[in-house]
Amino acid sequence: MAECIDTIGRSEYLGPAERLGSTLGRAIDKSLAALAGMASTIVYGLLAWQRRAEERAVLAGLSERQLKDIGLSRGDIAAESGKPFWVR
């Protein structure tokens, strides 16, 4: 029994099936890391869309005086507010 415990974790004692499992495990880890990267890209994109929609709604709600203060006209705001949220 002690001999079996001593060989645990030593790659030179692994058979072909165990080595394949280790290689497969590394491939799965790389795939999961890539998927996590894609998922974070999607989440950041969705958050940017939400922020853009909210900013356009705030712009549309500004008073004439506020628009004058920032140097925009109601036409500028109408053009910006008319864009879909996914368009910059």
Give the total residue count for the chain.
88
Q: Report which DSSP code applies to 45.
A: H
- pLDDT recorded at residue 28: 86
Assign 11 to helix, strand or coil. helix
pLDDT tens digits along 5-52: 555 555 566 666 666 667 888 888 889 999 999 999 999 999 999 999
Helices (H), the chain: 2-7, 16-60, 64-70, 74-81
pLDDT tens digits along 55-75: 999 999 999 999 999 999 999
- pLDDT recorded at residue 33: 92
Q: In whole angstroms, what is the distance from residue 28 CA to residue 31 CA?
A: 5
pLDDT at 76 over 70: yes
Q: CA 38 from chain center: how many Å?
A: 6
Query: What are the residue ranges spanned by the domains of the chain?
Result: 39-88
pLDDT range class, residue 4, cuts 50, 70, 90: low
- pLDDT recorded at residue 15: 63
Whole-model pTM: value is 0.61
Assign 2 to helix, strand or coil. helix
- Tokens for 46? 């969705």
